Amino acid sequence: MTRMLPSTEFALLSRIATEQSANRAPSLVAGVVRGGELVWSGARGFVGNAAPTNDTQYRIGSITKSLTATLVLRLRDEGKLDLNDRVDAHLDDAKSEAFGQLTVAQLLAHTSGITSESPGSWWERSTGDSWQALASGLTPDELKLRSGKQFHYSNTGYGILGELIARLCGGTWLDALRDEVLGPLGMSRTTAHPQPPAAPGWAVHPFADVVLPEPTSDTGAMAPAGQLWSTVDDLARWTSFTAGQTGEVLHPDTVAEMRQAVAVEDGDTWAMGYGLGIQLLRQHGRSFAGHTGSMPGFVACSMADQTSGTGAVAMANTTAGVGILGVVLDLIRIADEREPALPEPWRPADVDVRLLALTGLWHWGPSPFHLRLLPNGWLDLNPVGAGRRSRFRPSGDDEWQGLDGYYAGETLRVERDADATPRHLNLATFVFTRTPYDPDAPIPGGVDDAGWRTETT
C-alpha cells in the first residue's frame, strides 16, 4: 500500500478518532483510495477485545444497491435488456396494474413511484420472505406516486431488480453478483452473511453508555437492496470501481453513465441526486459519487470525488449517531488539501493526424466555437464564450456521437467538398461553418443574398 505523509495520516486518524469517541461508536474503520489503490486506512474502537482491521466485515446496507445496479447495466450492455423495458417484459408474474408497467431505468433511479418499503414487517429487522411473497404484496396501492414524477427512494424497487437479474442470469441474484462483479474485482470478503472476523451490530443507548445487540437477519427477496457485508479492503476496490477503475466488469463509459444525475432530491439548485444506482452529492464546488448504507447495527459509506478521483470509505457498527457521510467527505478533503494528486505529465497523444483538418474555428451562425481533437479520435466542441459544449466519440465514417451536454446522443457529421476538404458540420440540424453564415453551406432558412452589411437601415 502506498503511504501518505505522516502528518496527513495523523490528520486522517484524528478525524475518525474524534467521530468514534464523540459519537460513541463501538468501532469505526476507514480508508482513502487513489488511483485504484488504498493509500491509507485506520481504525478506532474494539471488536471484542481487539481493534478491527482492514479484513473485519461490517454490514454495508444500501451500498448493495450500487452492486445490484452494476449487474443490471451489464445485462444492458450484453443486449439482454433495455433500460426502457417494462418490468413485465422480463417478469411474467409481475402484476401489470401494480408494478409491471414500471421501467428498469425508473427502478434504478428511484423514480418509479413504487413504495419505499416492502409490505409487511419492517424488512431491515425481520427475516425476509420469498420473491413470490414480495410480488403478491405489491398491489396497486403500493404505487405511491405517478411513475417518473419525482425522486422517491425505494428499497422495494431493488428487490424487483434482484429478481429480474436472477431470471435473466438463470440463477440467483447472489450467484450472478459473485460471478460477474465480486469475483472479477477481487472482493472475496464481500458476502451475504458475516464471515469471521466480523463486527457485531450494536444500538447505543442515547442517554447512557450501554449497548444492545441488533438483529442481522437474512432479508430474503429484499437482499439486493441491502444484504451485503464487506471490509475496508473490499470496499476500497469498489470505491475505485465507481471512480472509474472498472477492470473488465463494465466499460468506463457505462460507469460514467451510472454517475450522471437522473433525479435530484432537493430542487433546482441541487446538492443531492441519484444516477443509475449511484448517489450523487455536490458540496463546496465539488461533485461526489458513491453510496451510503445503513442496517440495524451498522452504517457505511463509499464516495469518490469525480474530479480529483480521490475516494474514501468508512464503516461503523452502530445503528445511529455517527455521521458517516461527513466522515468520508472529510477524509477526501483532508487527503486532497494536504496531498493534492499531481496531474499526469503531458505528452503528445496518439491521434489520427488526418483529423487535424477538422480542428480550429467553426461558427454556428455568428457564434464562434473551437473544435479540438482529443485522444482516441474524440472531438470537443467548445463555445468561445457562452454556449453549448459537448464531447463526441467516433461512431462511423465522418460521424461522431455526442457524449454529454446538450448534444448528448446526437450525431455530428462532417460534410466535405469534392476534394475531401471539410466544408461544414451538421449537428442535429445545426450547421457549423468556417466563416459566419457561409453562403455556400446549407444554412437552414438560407442566407441573405446581399450578405453582411455596414448599417442597420
Distance CA 113, CA 131 (A): 20
Query: Rounded to an integer, what distance in angstroms lies between the CA atom of residue 237 and that of residue 240?
Result: 5
Q: What is the mean pLDDT of residues 212-220?
A: 94
Residue 93 predicted with pLDDT over 80: no
What distance in Å separates the CA atoms of residue 57 and residue 194, rounded to the nearest whole number? Answer: 7
How much is the average pLDDT of 410-422? 95
pLDDT, tens only, 186-202: 999 999 999 999 999 99
Confidence of residue 125 (pLDDT cuts 50, 70, 90): confident
Domain annotation covers residue 1: no
First to last CA, the chain: 73
Angstrom CA distances, 1 to 35, 37, 328, 368, stand at: 12, 7, 19, 48
Residue 417 in this model has a pLDDT that exceeds 80: yes
Residue 137 burial (10 A CB sphere; 0-12, 13-18, 19+): middle
Q: What is the mean pLDDT of residues 425-442?
A: 96
Global pTM reads: 0.90
Nearest to 8, CA basis, from 341, 343, 336, 342: 336
Exposed (0-12), middle (13-18) or buried (19+): which is 230, by Cβ within 10 Å? Answer: buried
Joined grid coordinates for residue 165 = 437479474
Sequence-distant (≥ 6) Cβ neighbours of residue 79 within 8 angstroms: none
pLDDT of residue 95: 64
90: confidence class by pLDDT, cuts 50, 70, 90: very high
Tell whether the model's pLDDT for residue 96 goes beyond 70.
Answer: no
Rounded Cα distance between 88 and 329, Å, is 40
- Specify if 65 maps to a domain: no
Query: Is the pLDDT score of 97 beyond 80?
Result: no
Asked, for residue 221, whether it belongs to a domain, the answer is no
- Convert the pLDDT of each residue in 238-291 to its tens digit: 999 999 999 889 999 899 999 999 999 877 778 999 999 999 999 989 999 999
Whether residue 74 is predicted with pLDDT greater than 80 in this model: the reply is yes
Number of domains making up the chain = 1
Residue 427: CB atoms within 10 A of its CB come to: 22
| pLDDT at 437 exceeding the cut of 80 | yes
Task: Return d(Cα 45, Cα 26) in angstroms, integer.
Answer: 6
Given pLDDT bands bounded at 50, 70 and 90, which one contains residue 92?
confident
When pLDDT is averaged across residues 440-456 and rounded to a whole number, the result is 93
- Which range among 106-110, 377-381, 451-455 shows the weakest confidence by mean pLDDT? 451-455
- Is 53 within a domain? no
* % of the chain beyond a pLDDT of 90: 87
Element counts in the chain: helices (H) and strands (E): 11, 20
Give pLDDT, residue 57.
98
Residues 6+ apart with CB under 8 A from 183: none
Strand-pair category, 360-364 with 311-316 = unpaired
Cα 141 to its chain centre, rounded Å, is 30
For residues 50-65, one letter each, b for 16 or more C-beta atoms within 10 angstroms of the residue's C-beta and e for the rest, the string is eebebebbbbbbbbbb
Residue 112 has pLDDT above 70, yes or no: yes
Strands (E), 351-421: 360-364, 367-373, 379-383, 390-396, 399-402, 411-416
Tell me: pLDDT of 1 over 80. Answer: no
Domain-embedded: residue 233: no
- CB of 312 within 8 A of CB of 24? no
Mean pLDDT throughout 385-394?
A: 94
In a domain, 389, yes or no: yes
CA distance 70 to 138: 25
Helices (H), 204-323: 223-226, 232-242, 252-258
Distance CA(375)–CA(349), nearest Å, equals 6
In a domain, 326, yes or no: no
Is the pLDDT at 48 greater than 70? The verdict is: yes
Average pLDDT of the segment spanning 156-164: 97
Q: 423 is in which domain, residue-wise?
A: 353-433
Task: Supply the pLDDT for residue 62.
Answer: 98
- Cβ-count burial 340-362 (b if 16+ within 10 Å, e if not): eeeeeeeeeeeeeeebeebeeeb
pLDDT (0 to 100) of residue 2: 78
Does the residue 369 lie in any domain?
yes
Cα gap 432→418, rounded to integer Å: 18
